[in-house]
Amino acid sequence: MRIEVKNGGFKAAGVLRNYVGLRLMSKLDIHVWQVHVVTVQLADVYACGGGIDKRCRMRAVLVPSGEIRVEGRDPDPFAAIDQAAERLARGLGRALARGQTTKPSPAEVPGQGGRGRPPVPAVEVRPWGAAPSAGATCQ
């Protein structure tokens, strides 16, 4: 899963970027194989009551196809990120329950097999200290 954060001019941009990554990885941990890329947009917006809120929009592109869009708003940017990450996790769970997405084969996921990945070498399992068998080769 790749995470792209587009900052809306916040002073603590590095801290927010790290927080977004941590929250997404913690919320999507068991479904991370299902998400190809998450684009996160952080911005200041005017609230209905006259104050300034922070908005966090997330767009997840799913493997092999589909997307989920969510938004979170709060005066605290960390709370807005929390809301959006929670909504994204729930939306991904609903999409999986409806069967909109399926677990891809390793060849379909970039960097997870298919062309360009070296084959896994054969490994011989033997007790500790035992000598290798007659036809065994070391890789």
The pair of structure tokens assigned to 129 is 């200290």
Residue 26 lies in domain = 2-98
Residues 6+ apart with CB under 8 A from 16: 5, 7, 10, 42, 77, 78, 81
Residue 6 forms part of a structural domain: yes
Structure tokens at 132: 């290798």
- Name the more confident of 32 and 91: 91
Whether the pLDDT of residue 2 is over 80: the answer is: yes
Domain assignment present for 48 = yes
pLDDT digits (tens, 9 = 90+) for 65-93: 789 999 999 999 999 999 999 999 999 98
Structure tokens belonging to residue 123: 């490994």
Structure tokens of 136? 């065994």
Number of domains in the chain: 1
pLDDT on residue 45: 85
Average pLDDT over every residue of 50-69: 87
Residue 26 falls within a domain, yes or no?
A: yes
Give me the mean pLDDT over the 55-72 stretch.
90
Residue 50 is part of a domain; what is its CATH number?
Answer: 3.30.160.100
89 vs 122: which has the higher pLDDT: 89
Higher pLDDT, 32 or 60: 60
What is the pTM (predicted TM-score) of this model?
0.67
12 part of a folded domain: yes
Whether residue 4 contacts residue 37, with contact meaning beta carbons closer than 8 Å, is answered with yes
